[in-house]
Structure 1
Amino acid sequence: MACPKVSIVRDLAEVTQFRNGGGRDLTDVTSRAALADYSGNCDYTSDGVTVNVNVFLIAERGPAMQGNTANYRYFVAVAKPGEEAPTTKTEFDTSVTFDAGKLRSGSREELAPKIPLPKDANGKDWKIFLGFQLTPEQLAFNRAQMKQ
């Protein structure tokens, strides 16, 4: 049986974090991160399907960053067949540590959302969405960047 479709939400695939206090140009960026890719498979059992997903996060240190760690929040949402709105959504916190003198770093997040299904049901029409949990300002920034 086929696995549910996994996708990274375009508007929520990146996050740019700025220092507190107003400025929003390149010198005010503390860090940027992107959900760059994913891989995985699924396991069917008598009570549903577990989708094993590895999400690859790439982060970049900004000129305004203090310290060597950046924190991010992302989500996994599950939508039923024929629906775009998720029925469940789980948020996760993660951090990326930058080695001294390095501008980039990354992490691999291992997720395993479970979709309850009747025995012998196929999960191929279910959808799993991945993205950063953004503030309204971060979402507006992403959308403005996409228009350029």
Structure 2
Amino acid sequence: MSCPSLTLPADLADLTRYRPGSPPDLSSVALDARVTGVDASCRRGRRDQSVDATISMRFQIDRGPAAPSRAVQLPWFIALLDADNNVINRQSFVLPAQFGVNTTRAAVGSRPVEISFPVNQQRRAQDYRIMVGFQLTEEELAQNRRRGPR
């Protein structure tokens, strides 16, 4: 079973959060995270009229010097786009994570998420695209674009 193409835009693959109200510098970093992997698989849906895609994400998180606690929340999303890049379906998630005692780095993974979409003779699985990434604020997205991919 073929899956739609899966994309992780470079400007949505990193998340750096700072202490609120502080200028963005190394001493005010609360959290620095990156997507380290995306796992996806597809199978035929009901009566071959749909495709069911299962997606899970893997992240690496670094705790910054301004982190208020060992608990963090990673906002991320999955979007299904058609051939014209129109968003057909979009789901947002928050992955809670916890740093261990005396650790500043953690690797975490999301639970598998399933999305389904219709297929027929006019619209094949290859006519769709699945996009994943961090759910960023406008400022975080602008910062990633200025900094470039890491």
TM-score w.r.t. length of structure 2: 0.89
What root-mean-square deviation, in Å, do the aligned CA atoms of Structure 1 and Structure 2 show? 2.0
Q: Does residue 50 of the first structure (1) align with residue 27 of the second (2)?
A: no
Paired residue for 2:13?
13
Q: Are residues 101 and 111 of structure 1, via their aligned partners in 2, closer, same or farther at CA, if it must alter by over 3 Å?
A: same
User: What are structure 1's unaligned runs of at least 5 residues?
Assistant: none
Give the 3-state SS of the residue equivalent to 1:39 in structure 2.
strand
Paired residue for 1:145?
147
Cα offset for 1:63? 0.7
8 A contact 1:27–1:64 mirrored in 2: yes
TM-score w.r.t. length of structure 1: 0.90
Q: Are residues 135 and 120 of structure 1, via their aligned partners in 2, closer, same or farther at CA, if it must alter by over 3 Å?
A: closer
The correspondence of residues 80-99 of structure 1 with structure 2, limited to 5 A, is 80=82, 82-99=83-100
8 A contact 1:2–1:122 mirrored in 2: no
Q: Which whole-Å CA distance do the structure 1 matches of 2:123 and 2:43 have between them?
A: 13
Cα offset for 1:136? 0.9
The correspondence for 1:113, drawn from 112, 115, 121, is 115
User: What are structure 2's unaligned runs of at least 5 residues?
Assistant: none
Q: Are residues 18 and 4 of structure 1, via their aligned partners in 2, closer, same or farther at CA, if it must alter by over 3 Å?
A: same
Give the 3-state SS of the residue equivalent to 1:77 in structure 2.
strand
Letter of the 1:136 counterpart: E
The correspondence of residues 125-144 of structure 1 with structure 2, limited to 5 A, is 125-144=127-146
Cα offset for 1:40? 2.2
Give the 3-state SS of the residue equivalent to 1:112 in structure 2.
strand
1:27-86, CA deviations, whole angstroms, 9 ceiling, x for partnerless residues? 100001111111221011223111111211111100101210111211100011x22232
Could you list the structure 1 runs, at least 4 aligned residues long, displaced by more than 6 angstroms after superposition.
none
Letter of the 2:57 counterpart: V
Paired residue for 2:38?
38
Larger deviation, residues 7-16 vs 115-124: 115-124
